[in-house]
Amino acid sequence: MDQEVLKGLQDEIANIKKLSTIETEDNKPIQEQEEFREPLSIEKEEVYKILLSWGGGEDGYKLTFKDNDLLRGVYYMANWGTYNEIELNEEELNLIYDIYLYSDVESFKNNL
């Protein structure tokens, strides 16, 4: 894992833990404390998991959509305590989308 990302995560979790234990004089909720980082947005994304195998190991694809637009995809492999994924390039992403979701996530959602 990228060390900068790991440090960022650790700092954020430490800050939230600290804020959640601080008792303010006027009992302000954590979201109203000065050190709280107000999110710029909270967004919904949908992930479709295309499971190719399971049992002793698992592999497949995960395609991520927002408002029915294909954002990204990964090939993943999980096996007894390990998990790894590889980001698909644009050509691979479109190929997987065409083959498994028939290039139409909306129709696919309606059949689930």
Number of domains in the chain: 2
- The pTM of this model reads 0.72
pLDDT in tens, 37-47: 788 999 999 99
Is residue 76 included in any domain, yes or no?
A: yes
Which tokens belong to 36?
């709280």
Instruction: Give the model confidence (pLDDT) of 46-96 as tens digits.
Output: 999 999 999 878 999 999 999 989 999 999 999 888 999 999 999 999 999
In this structure, the answer to whether residues 25 and 55 fall within a common structural domain is no
Same domain, 9 and 58: no
Same domain, 21 and 76: no
Question: Is the domain of 16 the same as that of 59?
Answer: no
Q: Which domain holds residue 23?
A: 3-32
Q: In this structure, is residue 7 part of a structural domain?
A: yes
Position 73 in a domain: yes
For residue 39, being part of any structural domain is answered with no
